[in-house]
Structure 1
Amino acid sequence: MQWNKKISVLGVHAEGEIGRVITAGVLDIPGRSMMDKMNYINTVDDSIRRFALFEPRGFSQMTVNLLLPATQPEADVGFIPMQPDCAHALSGSNSMCVTTALLETGMIPMQEPHTEVVLDTPAGLVTATAHCENGKCKSVSLTMVPSFVEALDQQIEVEGLGKLTVDIAYGGCYFALVDANALGLKLRPSEARTLVELGTRIKQAAAAQISVQHPLYPSLNKIEYAIFTGNYEGELRSTNIIYPGRVDRSPCGAGSSARLAVMYARHQIAMNEPVKIKSTIDGRFICEVVAETTVGDKQAIIPRIEGRAWIYSMEEYGVDPSDPFPLGYTLSDTWGPEI
């Protein structure tokens, strides 16, 4: 075996959503801040993203998290979640995966019953509190970045659906929140293909028809996801649709933050009132608003999201010099028509 490139990767999932973690093989990415580093991957050199995510080493139904030295003195480690379309500013489920990987491998010492890890992300600092027992992270509670409502009850024109009302909110990235009940959807596994098809159209329409701009981060200026929200017999469910066209297996941490901002703005939830949000496959997060704040001129909240993550594999990826696909490949059968 003659590899000229190698990375070590842990297989991790949070409530069913795969968030692999690169633990060796990448020293750093150029940039003074994590936002700079994310932008470098997205605009200058995305070879590590393609190497880790594209076939034959990767696949479209996952995220790969890149661990990096922290750029802020308060943080323990930096990380950037890389997905099939690009590197992103924040992911709650992947913050859980990263925290679990750091502590259960000993990269950061685990203290029982609680260990605090401060994560440096492009969207800002996230404080993870791991609840630990017998060397295992039983759960991870995230104090997320400030989240806020951009607009409520916005009408957009969606192909095949006509006029549709959505809410736009930020939870580490921008979401178009769609009332699944209004569309007759119950967010069950049997609806996954329908949700992907509708969600893709809704996201494209919202991104084209509604302008957004984060008050502090110029790069965060587009709606990245459509997330379906439902309430069935008192049980809250969420289904986020991720490029190139798949259902988030977890309830989506950033999306749950955005949903909390909407619920709080509508007076549907009180401060420090925990709610359980389930995913399409019954993964669950416990979510609550723990503080009010401002972001620029916007009223915002601080969300706390708690969930669980599990390590399921330890792998090494490499490339032989004769391999004709050193950065992998994508095909429209699984990666969609937009590749």
Structure 2
Amino acid sequence: MKDQLTLQLLDTHAGGDVSRIVTGGVDPLPGDTVRQKMEYLRDDADGLRRLLLEEPYGAPEMSVDLIVPASDPRAEIGYIIMEVMGYPIYSGSNTICTATALLESGLIAKREGLQSFMLESPAGLVHIDARVENGRVEAITCGGLPSYIDTYRASIHVPSLGDVTYSVAYSGGFYALVDARELGFHLTRDEEADLARCAGAIVEAIQTRRGFSHYALGDVGPLPFLHFMGPEERVADDYYRSRSATYVHPGVICRSTTGTGTSARLALMHHEGRIRPGDRLETVSLRESGFVGEFLGVDTLGERGHDVVRNTITGKAHILARSETVVNCDDPMVSCAGLHHILSSRSL
């Protein structure tokens, strides 16, 4: 007789980025809010994130979203986001995947046409508009986190690259924004490894020089993201398209352009006076997938009077697999440290 630890998963992807939605097997977490539950995982039970993003179960290019009860009565369900860099308080692609998984699994009742509901992320409430056609979720529009420009066109010397010009936006995490052409990139798939090396060098140089503080949240950790910006093509009066690539430190080029990366671009376009409320930007990835961000308007917030961009992100997610994953603690490749106190078990 022994105990077997199991997890119920729905694997999904949006724009190529795989999100593993954990729907069962984890015991109730301490904390009165989704943010507090996230902090408990981060500080006392990081083994779950490492288990599902490392060999033999996963890869660092994936993300994990744990379904938890919402604390706000306006929200249907809560979710906690886990990535290779840690615990971002928000992610557009993970939100699109989570909302789709909840609808397709029946955890939220699915209705034909357009339906709206709220989820609770560690960043707070997120408004979701889901478009259902012939019984399938065809698109999710989620509220992007209010985004702003912290630093505009600064310069830093990167030993392997020389002087690099960058801006920094906050859109759920701090993003370095760089012009791909200035660094010699066309944003094609064969450049992926070189993009990762280049971005890693820039992020490490910025992290060494300085930190960043959110006007309301304070210190949210070292800058973890970099977004390569391609040229913008004006497709219509209110619609732009741009090749893009998002890097997550350390070492990951996302398969999608990411929702928060798209929100960061909208903040920069507003800062430069090149976008109006109602305008949309489609970001296109190395794999030709895309998200569409819409600029809704601006609020002036914080003691320094930041122009904070309200926006939405639209994309589509696909269900890849439904599975029960067995956690083999006797496998020498698996570390169960920090897992037994949060994983339900059953006797065999």
By how many angstroms is 1:219 displaced?
Answer: 4.8
Corresponding position of 1:197: 197
Alignment of 1:75-224 (within 5 A): 75-224=75-224
**CA shift digits 1:245-278 (9 cap, x unpaired):** 1211111101111111011110121111112110
Which residue identity is paired with 1:303?
A: N
Corresponding position of 1:319: 327
Within the alignment, does 1:260 sit opposite 2:266 as a pair? yes
Unaligned regions of 5+ residues in structure 1, if any? Answer: 330-339
**CA shift digits 1:97-145 (9 cap, x unpaired):** 0010000111001122112231211222221211111221101111112
Q: 1:114 to 1:19 in 2, by over 3 A?
A: same
What is the alpha-carbon distance in structure 2 between the residues aligned to residue 303 and residue 327 of structure 1? 40
**CA shift digits 1:33-87 (9 cap, x unpaired):** 3332222222222121122222111112210111111122222211111112322
Q: 1:166 to 1:320 in 2, by over 3 A?
A: closer
What is the alpha-carbon distance in structure 2 between the residues aligned to residue 27 and residue 86 of structure 1? 21
Which residue identity is paired with 2:29?
A: I
Corresponding position of 1:29: 29
Q: 1:44 to 1:294 in 2, by over 3 A?
A: farther
What is the alpha-carbon distance in structure 2 between the residues aligned to residue 86 and residue 259 of structure 1? 23
From 251, 255, 263, the counterpart of 1:245 = 251
What is the alpha-carbon distance in structure 1 between the residues aligned to residue 104 and residue 242 of structure 2? 31
From 307, 311, 314, the counterpart of 2:315 = 307
Query: Per the alignment, in what secondary structure is the counterpart of residue 149 of structure 2?
Result: strand
Unaligned regions of 5+ residues in structure 2, if any? Answer: 235-240, 338-348
Q: Is the 8 A contact 2:104 2:137 kept in 1?
A: yes
Query: Per the alignment, in what secondary structure is the counterpart of residue 97 of structure 1?
Result: helix
User: Once superposed, what is the RMSD of the aligned Cα atoms?
Assistant: 1.9
What is the alpha-carbon distance in structure 2 between the residues aligned to residue 110 and residue 198 of structure 1? 43
Corresponding position of 1:335: none
Which residue identity is paired with 2:197?
A: E
What is the alpha-carbon distance in structure 2 between the residues aligned to residue 79 and residue 307 of structure 1? 18
What is the alpha-carbon distance in structure 2 between the residues aligned to residue 110 and residue 97 of structure 1? 15
By how many angstroms is 1:328 displaced?
Answer: 6.9
By how many angstroms is 1:162 displaced?
Answer: 1.8
TM-score (norm 2): 0.89
TM-score (norm 1): 0.91
Q: 1:158 to 1:255 in 2, by over 3 A?
A: same
What is the alpha-carbon distance in structure 1 between the residues aligned to residue 30 and residue 159 of structure 2? 41
Further displaced range: 298-307 or 48-57: 48-57
Query: Per the alignment, in what secondary structure is the counterpart of residue 85 of structure 1?
Result: coil
Q: Is the 8 A contact 2:56 2:334 kept in 1?
A: no
By how many angstroms is 1:2 displaced?
Answer: 5.8
What is the alpha-carbon distance in structure 2 between the residues aligned to residue 288 and residue 264 of structure 1? 12
Corresponding position of 2:346: none
Q: Is the 8 A contact 2:169 2:268 kept in 1?
A: yes
Which residue identity is paired with 1:7?
A: L
Which residue identity is paired with 2:243?
A: R
Q: Is the 8 A contact 2:88 2:172 kept in 1?
A: no
What is the alpha-carbon distance in structure 2 between the residues aligned to residue 100 and residue 269 of structure 1? 30
Percent of counterpart pairs with the same letter?
Answer: 33
Query: Per the alignment, in what secondary structure is the counterpart of residue 107 of structure 1?
Result: coil
Which residue identity is paired with 1:284?
A: G
Q: Is the 8 A contact 1:274 1:287 kept in 2?
A: yes
Q: 1:214 to 1:62 in 2, by over 3 A?
A: same
What is the alpha-carbon distance in structure 2 between the residues aligned to residue 109 and residue 189 of structure 1? 38
What is the alpha-carbon distance in structure 1 between the residues aligned to residue 243 and residue 168 of structure 2? 18
Which residue identity is paired with 2:50?
A: R
